[in-house]
Structure 1
Amino acid sequence: QISETFFALRAKNLQLKYKYMAKFFLYARKSTDEPDRQILSIEAQITELKEFAVKEQLNIVQTFIESQTAKEPGRPIFNDMLSQIEKGKAEGILAWHPDRLARNSVDGGRIIYLIDSGKIFSLKFPTFWFDNTPQGKFMLNIAFGQSKY
């Protein structure tokens, strides 16, 4: 029982240490296909995300802004952000909602793969809960699927 407590405390300590050391990319996107359907402008997303980052004590190392639909894969700024994550420049992404990241199965699958391979440790959203667990990935997949329509 002592060893279980020790390992539980050590894991908690590592999580706290990682939380303060983790580097996050902030990603804000607004679609250009139907501007009247958009809930938040890019500026409003950035403001809310920066406030959320302060509250959650997240370390934002770079901001990515894109004005393009996510219905089809191939967004250059999004792809650049994921390439930088693959190179180890950040371990997490902060976005307003999962539908800002992916509205197609290719981009959603790529994010899930980067989580599974350990390249993305955390996704943070002020409007959606995500935890890097099987249940969290399941819910993220559902959110990506819903955002497609």
Structure 2
Amino acid sequence: MKQENIKTKYFLYARKSSESDDRQIQSIDDQVDRLKQLASDLSLDVKKIYTESKSAKKPNNRPLFDEMIQRIEKGEANGILCWHINRLSRNPIDQGRITWLLQRGVLKSIKTIEKEYLPEDNVLILGVEGGVANQFIIDLSKATKRGISRKVKNGWRPSRAPLGYINDKFGEKGAKKVLKDSERFALVRKMWDMVLTGDYCISQIRKMA
């Protein structure tokens, strides 16, 4: 096993986006620290560490991921070390690129915290788990749109509260309301009243506020 690890040159890839599907994922620094420890424990040869704060929902959205894949295709590395397979892809295009590289043996190993994907016996599993990650995004998008439509139908604002109001942080999920901001509402109301008189310009109102 150690001899095989010496032959495999890894790129470490850590990713996290600010979107809801990534809220429970370890931070990039935590991913890198844990993966570096795993590499040390298994004597893996890590040639470069890639970190990226980008969504993987759409292809051609991650320049560092694309660079990593291009370098693998050139033979500069033949393994990927990542936290979970969904760090590599949440869309079928990128998933297909990764699966094809593994199936052809260009990638000798994709190693995560929990398992290893190999050309000879894990290509199908990789495809299935990649499909699950993609379907999760599709389902999440549908649920989000349903929630927004329901809020609009009920007369609620499906976004951040405007100036002078605050979002209800403690209401029931899916039924949170927009409330008056006790600190700013009166001031904002006064500013709008001044605007409506037509006697003040914006710069004057801002100074008085």
Q: Quick check: which has more Rg, 1 or 2?
A: 2
Partners of 2:14 and 2:22 in 1: CA distance = 17
Structure ranking higher in helix proportion:
1
Q: How far does residue 147 in structure 1 lie from its aligned partner after superposition?
A: 1.1
Change in 2 beyond 3 A, CA 1:46/1:118: same
Partners of 1:35 and 1:139 in 2: CA distance = 22
Amino acid at match of 1:48: R
1:108 pairs with 2:95: yes
Change in 2 beyond 3 A, CA 1:102/1:35: closer
Structure 2 residue corresponding to 1:58, chosen from 44, 48, 56: 44
Q: How far does residue 45 in structure 1 lie from its aligned partner after superposition?
A: 0.2
Amino acid at match of 2:24: Q
Structure 1 residue corresponding to 2:65, chosen from 78, 86, 100: 78
Q: How far does residue 39 in structure 1 lie from its aligned partner after superposition?
A: 2.0
Q: TM-score, normalised by structure 1?
A: 0.83
Give the conservation status (yes or no) of the 8 Å contact 1:28–1:100: yes
Change in 2 beyond 3 A, CA 1:97/1:36: closer
Give the conservation status (yes or no) of the 8 Å contact 1:22–1:59: yes
- Structure 2 unpaired stretches of 5+: 137-209
Change in 2 beyond 3 A, CA 1:147/1:52: same
Structure 2 residue corresponding to 1:126, chosen from 94, 110, 113: 113
Q: How far does residue 34 in structure 1 lie from its aligned partner after superposition?
A: 2.7
Partners of 2:72 and 2:57 in 1: CA distance = 22
Give the conservation status (yes or no) of the 8 Å contact 1:30–1:38: no
Partners of 2:73 and 2:22 in 1: CA distance = 34
Identity of aligned residues (%): 39
- Structure 1 unpaired stretches of 5+: 1-14
Amino acid at match of 2:68: M
Change in 2 beyond 3 A, CA 1:49/1:87: same
Q: How far does residue 127 in structure 1 lie from its aligned partner after superposition?
A: 2.5
Partners of 2:90 and 2:115 in 1: CA distance = 15
Q: Secondary structure at the match of 1:28?
A: strand
Partners of 1:119 and 1:36 in 2: CA distance = 29
> 1:11-32 CA deviation, whole Å, 9 max, x = no partner?
xxxx653321321000000012
Amino acid at match of 1:98: I
Report the RMSD for the aligned CA atoms in angstroms: 1.6
Partners of 1:114 and 1:35 in 2: CA distance = 26
Moved over 3 A (4+): none
1:92 pairs with 2:55: no
Partners of 2:97 and 2:9 in 1: CA distance = 19
> 1:28-48 CA deviation, whole Å, 9 max, x = no partner?
000122387232000000011
